[in-house]
A and B are shown apart, each in its own frame.
Chain A
Amino acid sequence: MNLETEKLGFYRYSSPQTFYPLAGKMLPWFWVVATLFGIAGLWVSFFVAPTDATQGEAYRIIFVHVPASWMSMFIYIVMAAWAGIGLALGTRLSGMMAQALAPTGALMAALSLLTGSLWGRPMWGTWWIWDARLSSELILFFLYVGFIALQAAIDDPRRADKAGAILALVGVVNVPIIYFSVIWWNSLHQGSSVSLTRSPSMAQTMFAGMILMALCFWMYSIAVSLMRVRAIIVERERNSEWIRAEVKYAVE
């Protein structure tokens, strides 16, 4: 038995009991790093990046709009991956991770839509348009909300995990649709300013600001999701000995 568990050392962290204290230890560090990236990112966004030649100061919305949009898609993929692992292997922590990520993903999708709307108004003259990029991002938001609502509607957490996982996995198709929508369809939305295959089509300082803000949003998402997964563990494991002991020691 010892040999088996030795070999599976990595899987140790797939149990809520071992992950709970680990997440607690990691949490403050993610908050610190998120804050540092946030300060640096805001500094570059407002005081280093120059005024845009065509959009004036309005373009500065990019520094929150792009990070929020990236995170909304990235979190969905991570959430679906956890849900899929849970469905395939039956590991308990996976479902909790997916559940912890969904509200933060929904928040990022909402921020992406909101900041996009605030950017579209002065630049395109409209808050909203039923365009491929905007509509598919709205669908992403609804997928998050649907996932949360579906899980909330099922009392048995293990069944809720399974139902949620299927929804999450089916919805993953939407992510590449969002990403490539500006290429596949005629869109009012501008093409991507950043790509892996060519150098960014923007000033280096603008690019740096965007990356710093994206790192801030990323670290924030990890921190807040770790917080939430700990709360979910406490809620779901309330009948197990170890969490009772954990709380006991936390008080005394």
Chain B
Amino acid sequence: MQWNSATEFFAMGGYALYVWGGFGACALLMLVEPWLVRRRMREAMLNLRRLNCADNTDH
């Protein structure tokens, strides 16, 4: 391992903004995307249940 301290690790040899910016952007978007898809799924399910209910009350 090439790091002597946590400070040195987070400094990334002076490239902290670029390295952490790159990894951070990936991590953020890769958390947001599944979250958005989950919301879309929930909404689709809700819609379907509403349709089901509407059909049942028709009888």
Interface residues of A (CB under 8 A from B): 46-48, 50-51, 56-58, 60-61, 63-65, 68, 103-104, 107, 110-111, 114-115, 118-119, 121-122, 220, 223-224, 227-228, 230-231, 234-235, 238, 243-244, 247-248, 250-251
Contact = CB atoms under 8 A, between A and B. Distances in A.
B18 A231 contact: no
Given A68-B26, A107-B29, A230-B41, A244 B52 contact: yes
6 contacts: A58-B15, A61-B19, A114-B25, A228-B40, A234-B45, A247-B45
Given A51-B13, A224-B33, A234 B48 contact: yes
B13 to A, nearest CB: 4
Interface in B31-46: 33-34, 37-38, 40-41, 44-45
A228 B35 CA distance: 11
B12 to A, nearest CB: 4
Given A51-B2, A114-B25, A231-B37, A56 B48 contact: no
Contact of B18 (A46, A47, A58): A58
Contacts of B26: 64, 68, 111, 115
Nearest to B18: A118
B35 to A, nearest CB: 10
Contacts of B47: 235, 238
Contacts, number: 95
Nearest to A50: B2
A224 B9 CA distance: 31
A29 to B, nearest CB: 15
Nearest to B50: A238
A47 B29 CA distance: 24
A238 B45 CA distance: 9
B11 to A, nearest CB: 8
The 9 closest A-B pairs by CB, nearest first: A57-B13, A58-B15, A234-B44, A231-B41, A115-B22, A57-B12, A61-B22, A56-B13, A118-B18
A160 to B, nearest CB: 17
A2 B30 CA distance: 44
A247 B15 contact: no
A228 B25 contact: no
Contacts of A227: 34, 37-38, 41
Contacts of B25: 111, 114-115, 118
A251 B46 CA distance: 11
Contacts of B2: 50-51
Contact of B41 (A56, A107, A111, A234): A234
A122 B2 CA distance: 21
Contact of B52 (A111, A122, A220, A247): A247
A29 B43 CA distance: 24
